[in-house]
Amino acid sequence: MLTFPKDFVWGSSTSGPQSEGRVAGDGKGENLWDYWYSLEPDRFHGQIGPETTSTFYLNYEKDIDLLLETGHTIFRTSIQWSRLFPKGVGEVNQTALAFYRKVFSLIKDKGIELMVNLYHFDLPFELQKIEGWENRAIVDAYQAYARFCFENFGDLVDRWITFNEPIVPVECGYLYDYHYPNKLDAKAAAQVAYHTQLASSLAVKECHAVNSAYKIGIVLNLTPAYPRSQHPADLKAARIAELFQAKSFLDPSVKGEYPQELVAILKEHDLLPTYRPEDLDVIRQHKVDFLGINYYQPLRVAAPRYLPHPDAPFQPDFYYDHYVMPGRKINPHRGWEIYEKGIYDIAQSIKEDYGNIEWLLTENGMGVEGEEKFRENGFIQDDYRIDFIKGHLKELHRAIEEGSNCKGYLLWTFIDCWSWLNAYKNRYGLIELNLETQERIIKKSGHWFKELSQNGGFEP
């Protein structure tokens, strides 16, 4: 039996924009995803947009009961800024205020620890009209929104999160054509990243000002960069890949300062953001209390084979090529590499390089396309998901035994949820969602997860 510490928590993560949905008259304002879907529905798998998602807004009472049925002792979700403040600033949507109070109270009444994220890729569209995170005014708007949340929900929330995976909107929205606003502008990307970090640090400041006992962190998708070989050029490629992908938010959030090598690279390419000297004091003084870490797959890189074209827009992978390792283990239903040891390596890095700060594994999961083919006797027999979780937990257990300060494991996700451009193409949940009837059916993994939680471990 692999047994985890008695205070170790078990649960799952979701987000407001991926689970809540909308109903007429709910007062929610548009966010980036609502607007983009209205413009280009063809870019969304099956033309399924964010309107319906998993209908948590209507079914939260039954869904929260299912948290207990699947063994949750912790649950992570997010507040939708555009639901609470339809224009991003100004008037509060009282219906949303009451909704979140009811949801959070019910979760707490069930004895489940509550982790609440303030931002999950979902900027209110009214603020995008003024250039979104490129505009410093958004930092002030976010700071006010964050303080409002701390003051109005702080009595119910056990752990706060400033941002989920803040590097993703930077990469997908400003370096590659994946997310709205679909810019290829590295200078804008650097400014967006900087304003996001400043906003996160200011949220930490506001949280502790409201109540010094509140705990607040940031969730980062830490994807270890593994070099193709020990050749100096491959090692340099991996180091620089991690500077952009992980350390650009990890270092200022935990250490209070940016990596000097990253600053030098940005300066070399004339990409340094506009900033005020006093901002650096804010970042230095207001570090997170803990980390949330999301891990799905490794990043494998090699030294670049070619020089970039002098007229091409800057991208971080000027410094590295993506490398497909021969013989890698693959999720055949999603195409992503499965590399369980990545969890152990992340844990070791946090322990050795970041003061062994308290952390939770806030996302880890296995997406499966066409999962209905595994239905037998009325429910999904997802032994592959159970094996996936076990493999990662073995490495996490090894890290904890060696002193890693990890306090919990949260799977992505609870009920199959809407997933940005992929909609419901890949299913991740412990619970199956029937899109036509909205029926929820616990999968085999959901029953197993309850046993895992109750036993505090599992037999390998």
Active site residues: 165, 363
**Amino acid sitting at position 207:** C
**Can you tell me the distance from the alpha carbon of 64 to that of 265, in angstroms, rounded to the nearest whole number?**
47
**Can you tell me the distance from the alpha carbon of 353 to that of 166, in angstroms, rounded to the nearest whole number?**
21
- Which residues, in sequence order, are bridge partners of residue 405? none
User: What's the length of the chain?
Assistant: 460
**Can you tell me the distance from the alpha carbon of 356 to that of 399, in angstroms, rounded to the nearest whole number?**
11
The greatest distance separating any two alpha carbons of the chain, rounded to the nearest whole angstrom, comes to: 63
Give the other-Cβ count within 10 Å of 2's Cβ: 17
431 in Cβ contact with 385 (< 8 Å)? no
Burial pattern 313-348, b for ≥16 Cβ within 10 A else e, equals ebebbbbbbebeeeeeeebebbeebbbbebbbbbbb
Q: Is 348 strand, coil or helix?
A: helix
**Can you tell me the distance from the alpha carbon of 118 to that of 200, in angstroms, rounded to the nearest whole number?**
10
Q: Which residue has the tokens 């804008």?
A: 188
Q: Is 75 strand, coil or helix?
A: strand
Residues in contact with 143: Cβ distance below 8 Å, sequence separation at least 6, in sequence order = 199, 202, 203, 206
Task: Tell me the pairing of strands 431-433 and 440-442.
Answer: antiparallel
Task: Tell me the pairing of strands 359-363 and 299-302.
Answer: unpaired
DSSP per residue over 304-345, as a string? Answer: -SSPPPTTSPP-GGGS-EE---TT--B-TTT--B--THHHHH
**Can you tell me the distance from the alpha carbon of 313 to that of 183, in angstroms, rounded to the nearest whole number?**
11
CA pseudo-torsion sign 233, 235, 238, 244: negative
